[in-house]
Amino acid sequence: MTVTVQAVPCLSDNYAWLMRDMATGTIAICDPGEAAPVIAALEAAGGRCDLILLTHHHGDHVNGVEEIRAKYGAKVIGAQADAHRLPPLDQAVLPGDTVRIGETEGRVIDSPGHTLGHVAFYFPDGDVLLCGDTLFSLGCGRLLEGTPADMFRALSLLKPLPTQTLVCAGHEYTESNARFALTVEPGNAALRAKADAVFAARAAGRRTLPVTLGEEMRTNPFLLAGSVERLAEIRAGKDNFRG
Ligand code: ZN
Ligand code: FE
């Protein structure tokens, strides 16, 4: 493995993700929605931050950027399409571009739906997928700007990644997602088992992320949806779900 990844809880249910390139010690943080817990994690990791990766422009993903940039001189990377509403970017990227954390290379993946300029970052060597508010464990992001077709396409770009890929999502929404997923897939035994594990983990105060893509492919109703129409139906159901 050339890179490690670690969750940094922020705000009430966000995760920033701290990555470290083993060869060079280069440190990157994805989606720092709050400065204090991220700075504490960066100090524990050696007191350096080289890069800040941003999946999208929402405050709960970017509000820690300026304090971290000022303290460590970190370079900020985000989507060129959203440069006008992201913090000032040092590297504005397009889908398909390469980003580099030390010697570890990642690929920018177009990921619209939750917002139109949303991107994901995939690092094959560490099996790390930083997917922001596109893919959650047992769920997907709300369609605040994009259409069901946008989200279907975004998820279809993530599905072919290796099953051992670590889904590093922006929120700990898994428990509520599990309750809803059980109503969509009542006969799915893998989901039932996973939901029980999720309820136990949350009751014990443990994180449910990261999770492997292979596990999500068997249990996440939004990845199991075979058509845009089906995804639209499930997304609408979740939007109205109180559970
Ligand atoms: Zn968001
Ligand atoms: Fe968010």
Residue-averaged pLDDT of the chain: 98
* Burial class of 46 by CB neighbour count within 10 A (0 to 12, 13 to 18, 19+): exposed
57 flagged as catalytic: no
Query: At residue 191, what is the residue type?
Result: L
Q: From the options 3.10.20.30, 3.40.640.10, 3.40.630.30, 3.60.15.10, give the CATH code of 3-239.
A: 3.60.15.10
pLDDT, tens digit (0-9, with 9 covering 90-100), for 182-231: 999 999 999 999 999 999 999 999 999 999 999 999 999 999 999 999 99
- In the reported structure, the alpha carbon of residue 168 is separated from the centroid of ligand 1 by a whole-number distance in angstroms of 14
Q: Write the CA distances from 15 to 18, 147, 236, integer angstroms.
A: 10, 25, 25
Half-sphere exposure of 148 (CA within 13 A, CB side): 16
Is-contact 137 177, C-beta < 8 A?
yes
Give the residue extent of every domain in the chain.
3-239
Options 58, 82, 118, 150, the catalytic residue: 58
- In the reported structure, the alpha carbon of residue 168 is separated from the centroid of ligand 2 by a whole-number distance in angstroms of 13
Query: At residue 66, what is the residue type?
Result: E
Is-contact 157 184, C-beta < 8 A?
no
- In the reported structure, the alpha carbon of residue 23 is separated from the centroid of ligand 2 by a whole-number distance in angstroms of 31
The conformational region for residue 25 under phi > 0 = left, psi -120 to 50 = alpha, else beta, is: left
Mean pLDDT of each 10-residue bin along the chain, 243 residues long: 94 98 98 98 98 98 98 98 98 98 98 98 98 98 98 98 98 98 97 98 98 98 98 98 83
C-alpha span between 15 and 209 (Å, rounded): 9
118 flagged as catalytic: no
Q: Write the CA distances from 38 to 53, 133, 182, integer angstroms.
A: 13, 19, 34
